[in-house]
């Protein structure tokens, strides 16, 4: 390296220094530390004691007192999280892409419609949980939805009180906040050249064929981006189910998510080792899904002109 | 161009048959209108119900069939919320604002310095460091929160005799805003993309005039980057205003709670029945966000659209 190169390096690192320090102290170190803790018995009260893979064994495959394998709450919370992602992500994709296509039509009042659909995504988790708790309420005839069900002569439903309903109630209220995904799709749709639609129309393609052969391939990079972010987002779902259920994941733990059990292990039971093992499991799951998404992306993602 | 405004491409842009570009009166169009109208009503309904409940008397909240126009109209519910002896609404607002302000200032400053390094200085290893930075965006907070908690605990335990070298961390606001002063990957990325679009000629001219690298950044690039800085500031504010898990993990004393945490605590302890007050409080929590949105609509949408699509 020449003297000039060294100078540039020095300058560059000087500008990067806040992030270099931040990355080391607030990202690199915590990840390394949590790997160490995940191999330790650590209760915050005494020093960590190395126990090898014991934490992973207890959580994932070790025989438990009920005769099953692994920690039942670990598996339950992982299963709940996967179920949420499996229901919410496809639903969100269909709803937001559909809304984005409606909002992309050249009709009057679009700016108004777009604002209305976007606004709920700005509502803080606490406020949206409060509103939906109130709307879903099943005590007496108070809840809005149940009141109208009764008016229609139907039986009221304990949306957040029955384990058969709670997950779908959460998915439904989460769809209310789908507005920022809609905006991302909308921006993607506006990048699709109109010539393509016109050519397809001349060739006699109807609405569905234009959707399937023009729109979806053209916005596939955006779908791809949203899919990765959606998986990562679902895995860390915490605030909304926590607030809806006071942190318990009621009813019958059907809203008990992976991140909630991680939190409880760390700050309720002070099992830092278990919690750290769960952190690493979460990290590995994220890496696997991101990897799969990137690997397979070349098959179905079309980057325009790249 | 803002996505919220309908983009009307000039008809002449495409040289083909004009017929295709003429707005037509298809029944499809009416279905679209009807669909959008129904969806919009659905999206507004929770807001409307929240507002309506917030102006009711307690006994009217449970009326059957549901009463949409509150009678009597209880505007004083809001005064009750603001002065409620158990809700501490004003104190929580103040706490949230302190944290949000410190986080906004810190993130905006530090992220732009780092972004300048990534965008405008060529040096060995920049590409690799940039890749590392991008990959950290994938790491969610729950993954690092346990060991962060332990690190903050240790920082408070570093002593020189009686003196706490780094001060106390747990049970203070510090864990919530200090990390923001070391750049955040998402914002660095966003600003770097923006800095890349600023032509180098300006910086070169300043360099010839003897301006230092930091001077170029501070006096030339930053003033030009105001729109991008606004996006970063806005998103960071919203993030701090909405954050629930961070305060839940790090704050111990109720006097320090943020709005999100304070409201949740109130709800779980006394709020289960007083929905008129909870809804008034929720309206008050949402209101600043909505006001910010209408003040900075373009900034918002552009930020989401660019980070989303070009990410």
Residues sharing a CB contact under 8 Å with residue B24, sequence separation 6 or more, in sequence order:
none
Find residue B163's DSSP bridge partners. B160
What's the CATH number for B85-271? 1.10.3720.10
Residues sharing a CB contact under 8 Å with residue A279, sequence separation 6 or more, in sequence order:
A34, A38, A262, B142, B143, B144, B145, B146, B147
Q: Does A11 touch chain B (CB under 8 A)?
A: yes
Query: What CATH number corresponds to the domain at position A145?
Result: 1.10.3720.10
A190 to chain B: which residues are within 8 Å by CB? 3, 7
Closest-approach residue (CA) in chain B for A115: B4
Tokens of B19: 């017929």
> CA–CA separation, A39 vs A51, rounded Å?
6
Q: What are the pLDDT digits (tens) for B271-304?
A: 667 889 999 999 999 999 999 988 888 777 776 6
Of A183, A201, A287, the CB nearest to B305: A183
Place of tokens 């969100």: A92
* DSSP-assigned letter for residue A49: E
**DSSP labels, A258-306:** HHHHHHHHHHTS--HHHHHHHHHHHHHHHHHHHHHHHHHHHHH---TT-
In 3D space, the residue among B106, B185, B168, B157 whose CA is nearest the CA of residue A26 turns out to be B185
Q: Could you list the beta-strand ranges (E) of A12-157.
A: 40-41, 49-50
What is the number of residues in chain A? 306
- Mean pLDDT, rounded, for B146-154: 94
Q: Could you list the beta-strand ranges (E) of chain B.
A: 159-160, 163-164
Residue B155 has pLDDT above 50, yes or no: yes
User: Phi, psi (5° rounding) for residue B49?
Assistant: -65, -40
Question: Would the CB atoms of A125 and B244 count as touching at under 8 Å?
Answer: yes
Q: Does A31 touch chain B (CB under 8 A)?
A: yes
Handedness of CA B123, B128, B130, B136 (dihedral sign): negative
The reported pLDDT for the residue numbered B102 is 97
The reported pLDDT for the residue numbered B4 is 54
Of B7, B123, B151, the CB nearest to A30: B151
In 3D space, the residue among B311, B119, B126, B124 whose CA is nearest the CA of residue B224 turns out to be B119
Taking the CA of residue B163 and the nearest CA in chain A, the distance in Å comes to 22
Question: Cα angle vertex A267, ends A265, A271, to 5°?
Answer: 40
CA A157 centroid distance within chain: 27
> CA–CA separation, B220 vs B224, rounded Å?
7
Find residue A50's DSSP bridge partners. A40
B242 to chain A: which residues are within 8 Å by CB? 124-126
Work out the end-to-end distance of chain A between its first and last CA atoms, rounded to an integer number of angstroms. Answer: 33
Q: What are the pLDDT digits (tens) for B47-65?
A: 999 999 999 998 888 888 8
**Cβ atoms of residues A26 and B139 within 8 Å:** no
Residue B310 has pLDDT above 50, yes or no: no
**Cβ atoms of residues B244 and A243 within 8 Å:** yes
Which range marks the domain in which residue A106 is found? Answer: 35-61+87-300
Residue A26 in domain:
no
Residue A46 in domain:
yes
Cα Rg of chain B (Å, integer): 25
The reported pLDDT for the residue numbered B1 is 39
In 3D space, the residue among A2, A174, A129 whose CA is nearest the CA of residue B50 turns out to be A129
E strand or H helix at A95: helix A72-103
Q: What are the pLDDT digits (tens) for A185-244?
A: 998 898 888 888 888 888 888 888 888 888 888 888 888 878 888 888 888 999 999 999
Q: Angle formed by the axes of helices B226-242 and B259-266, to 10°?
A: 20
- Mean pLDDT, rounded, for B219-228: 91
The number of distinct structural domains making up chain A is 1
- Mean pLDDT, rounded, for B246-267: 94
Complex-level ipTM: 0.91
Burial class, B117, CB count within 10 angstroms (exposed 0-12 / middle 13-18 / buried 19+): buried
Q: Does A120 touch chain B (CB under 8 A)?
A: yes
Q: Which residue has the higher pLDDT, A223 or B16?
A: A223
Q: What are the pLDDT digits (tens) for A230-261?
A: 888 888 999 999 999 999 998 999 999 999 99
- Mean pLDDT, rounded, for B57-81: 89
Supply the pTM of this predicted model.
0.89
Q: What percent of chain B has pLDDT over 90?
A: 62
> CA–CA separation, B190 vs B236, rounded Å?
12
Under the banding of pLDDT at 50, 70 and 90, the label for residue B31 is confident
Tokens of A175: 């769809």
Place of tokens 């318990």: A248
Residues sharing a CB contact under 8 Å with residue A50, sequence separation 6 or more, in sequence order:
A39, A40
Under the banding of pLDDT at 50, 70 and 90, the label for residue A304 is low
Q: Does B310 touch chain A (CB under 8 A)?
A: no
Q: Does B195 touch chain A (CB under 8 A)?
A: no
The reported pLDDT for the residue numbered B133 is 94
Under the banding of pLDDT at 50, 70 and 90, the label for residue B162 is confident
Q: Does A45 touch chain B (CB under 8 A)?
A: no
Residue A267 in domain:
yes
Q: Does B12 touch chain A (CB under 8 A)?
A: no
Question: Would the CB atoms of A242 and B244 count as touching at under 8 Å?
Answer: yes
Find residue A40's DSSP bridge partners. A50
The reported pLDDT for the residue numbered A218 is 87
In 3D space, the residue among B134, B120, B110, B140 whose CA is nearest the CA of residue B311 turns out to be B134
Under the banding of pLDDT at 50, 70 and 90, the label for residue A92 is very high
In 3D space, the residue among A119, A122, A109, A96 whose CA is nearest the CA of residue A186 turns out to be A96
Residue A10 in domain:
no
Maximum distance among all alpha carbons in chain B? 85
User: Phi, psi (5° rounding) for residue A111?
Assistant: -55, -40
Residue A14 in domain:
no
**Cβ atoms of residues B283 and B50 within 8 Å:** yes
Secondary structure of residue B163 in the 3-state scheme? strand
Question: Would the CB atoms of A26 and B182 count as touching at under 8 Å?
Answer: yes
Q: Does B129 touch chain A (CB under 8 A)?
A: yes
Of A105, A194, A275, the CB nearest to B146: A275
In 3D space, the residue among A149, A195, A166 whose CA is nearest the CA of residue A80 turns out to be A166
């Amino acid at each position: 390296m020449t003297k000039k190169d060294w100078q540039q390096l020095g300058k560059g690192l000087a500008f990067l220094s806040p992030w270099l320090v931040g990355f080391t102290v607030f990202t690199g170190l915590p990840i390394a530390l949590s790997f160490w803790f995940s191999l330790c018995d650590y209760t915050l009260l005494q020093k960590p004691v190395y126990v090898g893979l014991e934490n992973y064994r207890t959580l994932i495959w070790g025989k438990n007192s009920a005769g099953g394998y692994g920690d039942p709450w670990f598996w339950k919370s992982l299963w709940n999280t996967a179920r949420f992602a499996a229901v919410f992500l496809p639903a969100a994709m269909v709803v937001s892409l559909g809304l984005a296509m409606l909002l992309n039509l050249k009709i009057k009042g679009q700016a108004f419609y777009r604002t209305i659909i976007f606004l709920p995504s700005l509502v803080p988790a606490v406020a949206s949980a409060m509103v939906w708790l109130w709307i879903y309420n099943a005590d007496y005839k108070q809840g809005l939805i149940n009141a109208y069900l009764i008016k229609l002569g139907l039986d009221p439903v304990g949306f957040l009180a029955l384990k058969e309903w709670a997950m779908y109630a959460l998915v439904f209220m989460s769809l209310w906040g789908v507005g920022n995904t809609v905006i991302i799709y909308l921006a993607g749709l506006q990048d699709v050249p109109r010539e393509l639609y016109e050519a397809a129309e001349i060739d006699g393609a109807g609405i569905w064929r234009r959707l399937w052969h023009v729109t979806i391939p053209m916005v596939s990079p955006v779908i791809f981006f949203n899919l990765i972010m959606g998986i990562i987002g679902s895995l860390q779902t915490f605030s909304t189910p926590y607030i809806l259920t006071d942190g318990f994941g009621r009813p019958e733990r059907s809203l008990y998510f992976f991140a909630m059990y991680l939190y409880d292990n760390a700050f309720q039971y002070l099992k830092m080792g278990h919690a750290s093992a769960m952190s690493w499991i979460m990290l590995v799951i994220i890496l696997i899904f991101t990897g799969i998404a990137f690997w397979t992306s070349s098959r179905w993602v079309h980057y325009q002109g790249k | 161009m803002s996505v919220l405004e309908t983009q009307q491409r000039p008809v002449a842009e495409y040289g083909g048959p004009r017929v295709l570009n003429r707005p037509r009166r298809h029944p499809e169009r009416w279905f679209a209108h009807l669909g959008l109208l129904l969806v919009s009503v659905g999206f507004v309904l929770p807001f409307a119900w929240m507002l309506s409940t917030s102006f009711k008397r307690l006994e009217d909240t449970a009326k059957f069939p549901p009463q949409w126009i509150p009678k009597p109209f209880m505007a004083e519910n809001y005064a009750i919320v603001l002065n409620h002896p158990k809700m501490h609404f004003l104190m929580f607002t103040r706490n949230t604002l302190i944290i949000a302000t410190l986080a906004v200032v810190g993130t905006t400053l530090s992220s732009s310095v780092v972004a300048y390094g990534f965008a405008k200085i060529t040096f060995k290893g920049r590409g690799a460091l940039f890749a590392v930075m991008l990959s950290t965006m994938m790491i969610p907070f729950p993954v690092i929160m346990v060991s962060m908690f332990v690190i903050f605990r240790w920082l408070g335990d570093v002593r020189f005799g009686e003196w706490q070298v780094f001060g106390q961390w747990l049970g203070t606001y510090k864990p919530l805003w200090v990390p923001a002063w070391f750049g955040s990957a998402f914002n660095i990325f966003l600003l770097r993309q923006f800095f890349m679009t600023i032509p180098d000629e300006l910086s070169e001219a300043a360099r010839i005039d003897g301006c230092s690298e930091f001077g170029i950044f501070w006096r030339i690039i930053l003033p030009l980057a105001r729109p991008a800085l606004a996006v970063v500031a806005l998103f960071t504010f919203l993030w701090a205003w909405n954050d629930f898990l961070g305060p839940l993990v790090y704050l111990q004393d109720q006097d320090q709670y943020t709005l999100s945490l304070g409201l949740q605590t109130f709800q779980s302890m006394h709020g289960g029945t007083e929905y008129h007050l909870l809804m008034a409080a929720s309206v008050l929590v949402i209101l600043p966000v909505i006001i910010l949105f209408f003040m900075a609509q373009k900034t918002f949408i552009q930020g989401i659209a660019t980070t989303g699509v070009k990410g």
